[in-house]
Amino acid sequence: MNHRIPLYTAEGELADWISEQRLARLEAAGLIARVVRHPKGHINRAILFRRPGEGGAVKLRQYMGTRYSFRERLDNGRPCWKLRRLGRGNELRSIFLTVIAECMASQ
């Protein structure tokens, strides 16, 4: 039977589709962290160990950047949005106004 098994990295990303023979070789080499089986017994997927020198999982914050607004509860219990300060006083005002002027000019 030519059954292909999905092989996932330690972070959960699909790396490859492998045969049962290749899975056996990877298990013998000690590279497979976990084999997930279906209740009927066939293999659903295989997950690799994290290799030395391989980076950790990427956090959502690294994709999206710093949050400058967040939800806050007022004293009366109602939710509102609060903005995080970008700088003290007027140190960023000129940069902000330049960006706004460029955005308005492009329209």
Q: For residue 11, what pLDDT is reported? A: 84
Mean pLDDT value across residues 96-106 = 83
What is the CA 103 to chain-centroid distance, rounded?
31
Residue 94 pLDDT class (50, 70, 90 cuts): confident
Q: What is the pLDDT of residues 25-80, one digit of tens each?
A: 999 999 999 999 999 999 999 999 988 877 776 666 666 666 677 777 888 888 88
What is the CA 43 to chain-centroid distance, rounded?
26
Q: What backbone torsions phi and psi does residue 86 show, to the nearest 5 degrees?
A: -90, -30
**Could you tell me which residues come within 8 angstroms of residue 15 by beta carbon, excluding any fewer than 6 positions away?**
7, 8, 9, 48
H or E segment to which residue 102 belongs: helix 93-105
Mean pLDDT value across residues 79-92 = 72
Beta strand 43-48 pairing with 5-8: parallel
